[in-house]
């Protein structure tokens, strides 16, 4: 195996690559410790169904101009086969990460070298704006260079199709096949055609922000609460480019940006991980919010497709909301306003993923709005929007991992819009004489108190992968009869596309793509989902429990009982 790795590294030295890369490979070959050489060359960085993601550096298993070039060449080949004889255009954007601009320019160069017109954003811009630009400019495809909220060592290449949605079947696997068929970086066309690279300027920014403002629902509330203190951080990323401007254009006059994190820096120097799902990433914003006695703080990840928020709870203490809580607040607000404005006609729908809180479904149905459940990944929400285009109107939806969208102007989660909707919703809630927690508790009183939790178990290496496979096989072959003393009443297997009603003794099929996910439903309303990661040596378990909430006064006690139930479920399933 090690000899094969050495030979693979040496074969790169024979390719037409730059002198610095050759020197780096020679240094790896000469090093006494061969660990880095092995990791850099033991496999090719896999182009998955969404694109590439990996650590930056030299080698076949690294993000560099050659692996980026190979991915772009494969996508170019597929586009040329799919649209023979047509003029093809694409859009390319990038986030603030180290090398992102360089990789974006390499991507544009390869597209242009293949005769494909490339609209290239002049500066870093949010991922959802790339989705918007694809449709606005009439492109056949698009790419954003980003590793989302991964650590600073990572970067990625995410591919989109002509509907502004991340690539799905059959295009995803077809593109993978094209990329895998490229034997050498010498087969990549790197000689750019300047005439085919067109800069994207501020007109697209203006149109994108106008599309968001067109979907706002309560201008009067914003006018009434224009002095509301808002703290925002883009965590050194693309959210800084548009979010403060948007909030000010909406009419909010008291927006405070965390200046230290306004600096565009791919090293993300003020955080451990640039992920708003992590409390640490929002610690500077939280300190500023406390200092100013703000109404809300909002933080977006580096490519601005996810947002985390914090507000004061019913005890006056600052609390970070999880993705389900923010999603519930936003959808409840939007459904309420759509109803008040007479916009619900019976031809609307909402959508979320199978591991997101069931509260979104309950609220939608109570409002007389059709609800759809799709697989994990926002591209499946985008696919549902496209499927129903012209038949039903998408009100909104989201996923538990801090991603939301209201309207169909883009086909991906949009944290720029989510920040606007959070600010507007809180202004409207304040206009009703309520706090965010008052509003949430009213939702819980009507639909039941939901609580969700997630644990992720890392199982490294070949043995770890086999252990995860064995766990899933055991759950399928011998599902638990009860969990935490509550009888199992339903089992959904998304790999087998079946729903087993264990009470009625029936099995029905589900019409969703196959995915290695299992869900257990118990008599007391608990839902447990098991889902191995497709890109990391992890298996994730999602827990959702619910119970009636008798009154706001009973919230703390009821919430604590649900927390205890989730911990008991984890212990019963031997996950802690």
Active site positions, annotated? 148
The contacts of residue 507 (CB under 8 Å, 6+ apart) are 498, 499, 500, 501
SS3 of residue 463 by DSSP: helix
Residue with tokens 């479904």: 361
Query: Which spans in 254-358 are helix H?
Result: 283-292, 323-340
Closest to 141 (Cα-Cα) out of 208, 79, 74, 93: 79
Cα distance between residue 25 and residue 508, in whole Å: 55
What is the rounded distance in angstroms from the CA atom of residue 269 to the CA atom of residue 15? 36
Name the phi and psi angles at 312, rounded to 5: -80, 135
Question: What is the β-pairing status of strands 449-458 and 141-145?
Answer: unpaired
Strand runs (DSSP E) across 313-448, as ranges?
Answer: 318-320, 348-353, 370-374, 393-399, 403-405
The span from the CA of 365 to the CA of 135, in Å, is 31
The residues, any chain, with a CB within 8 Å of residue 177's CB and separated by 6 or more, are: none
- In angstroms, the CA 469 to CA 471 distance is 5
Q: Give the integer Cα–Cα distance in Å for 142 and 130.
A: 7
Residues whose CB falls within 8 Å of the CB of residue 360, separated by 6 or more in sequence, listed in order: 327, 328, 331, 350, 352, 371, 397, 398
21: left (phi over 0), alpha (psi -120 to 50) or beta: alpha
CA–CA separation, 231 vs 91, rounded Å?
32
Of how many residues is the chain composed?
576
Q: Which residues pair with 486 in a beta bridge?
A: 483
């Amino acid at each position: 195996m090690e000899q094969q790795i050495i030979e693979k590294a040496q074969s790169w030295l024979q390719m037409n690559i730059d002198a610095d890369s050759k020197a780096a490979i020679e240094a790896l070959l000469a090093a006494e410790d061969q660990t880095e050489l092995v990791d850099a060359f033991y496999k090719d960085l896999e182009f998955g169904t969404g694109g590439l993601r990996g650590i930056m550096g030299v080698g076949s298993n690294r993000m560099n101009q050659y692996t980026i070039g190979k991915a772009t060449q494969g996508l170019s080949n597929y586009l040329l086969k799919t649209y023979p004889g047509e003029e093809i255009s694409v859009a390319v954007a990038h986030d603030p990460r180290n090398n992102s601009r360089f990789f974006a320019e390499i991507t544009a160069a390869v597209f242009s070298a293949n005769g494909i017109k490339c609209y290239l954003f002049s500066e870093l811009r949010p991922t959802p704006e790339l989705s918007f630009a694809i449709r606005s400019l009439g492109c056949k495809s698009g790419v954003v260079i980003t590793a989302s909220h991964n650590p600073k060592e990572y970067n990625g290449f995410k591919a989109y199709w002509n509907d502004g949605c991340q690539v799905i079947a059959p295009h995803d696997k077809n593109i993978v096949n094209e990329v895998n068929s490229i034997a050498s970086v010498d087969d990549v066309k790197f000689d750019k055609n300047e005439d085919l690279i067109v800069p994207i300027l501020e007109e697209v920014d203006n149109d994108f922000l106008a599309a968001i403002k067109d979907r706002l629902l309560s201008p009067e509330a914003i006018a009434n609460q224009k002095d509301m203190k808002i703290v925002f951080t883009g965590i050194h990323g693309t959210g800084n480019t548009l979010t403060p401007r948007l909030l000010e254009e909406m009419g909010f006059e008291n927006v405070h940006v965390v200046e230290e994190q306004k600096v565009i820096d791919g090293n993300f120097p003020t955080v451990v991980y640039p992920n708003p799902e992590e409390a640490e990433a929002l610690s500077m914003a939280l300190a500023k919010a406390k200092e100013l006695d703000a109404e809300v703080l909002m933080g977006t990840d580096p490519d601005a497709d996810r947002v985390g928020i914090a507000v004061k709870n019913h005890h006056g203490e600052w609390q970070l909301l999880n993705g389900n809580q923010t999603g519930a607040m936003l959808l409840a607000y939007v459904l309420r306003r759509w109803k008040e404005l007479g916009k619900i006609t019976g031809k609307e729908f909402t959508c979320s993923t199978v591991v997101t809180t069931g509260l979104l479904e309950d609220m939608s149905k109570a409002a007389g709005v059709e609800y759809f459940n799709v697989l994990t990944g926002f591209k499946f929400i985008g696919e549902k929007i496209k499927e129903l285009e012209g038949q039903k109107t998408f009100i909104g939806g989201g996923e538990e991992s801090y991603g939301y969208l209201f309207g169909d102007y883009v086909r991906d989660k949009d944290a720029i819009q989510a920040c606007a909707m959070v600010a507007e919703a809180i202004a409207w809630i304040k206009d009703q004489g309520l706090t965010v927690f008052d509003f949430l508790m009213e939702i819980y009183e009507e639909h039941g108190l939901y609580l969700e939790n997630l644990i992720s178990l890392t199982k490294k290496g070949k043995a770890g992968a086999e252990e995860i496979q064995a766990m899933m096989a055991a759950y399928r072959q011998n599902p638990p009869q009860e969990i935490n003393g509550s009888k199992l009443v339903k089992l959904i297997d998304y790999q087998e596309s079946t729903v087993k009603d264990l009470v009625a003794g029936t099995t029905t099929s589900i019409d969703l793509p196959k995915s290695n996910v299992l869900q257990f439903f118990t008599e007391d309303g608990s839902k447990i989902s098991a889902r191995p990661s497709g890109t990391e040596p992890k298996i994730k378990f999602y827990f959702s429990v619910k119970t009636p909430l008798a009154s706001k006064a009973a919230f703390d006690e009821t919430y604590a009982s649900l927390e205890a139930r989730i911990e008991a479920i984890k212990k019963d399933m031997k996950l802690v």
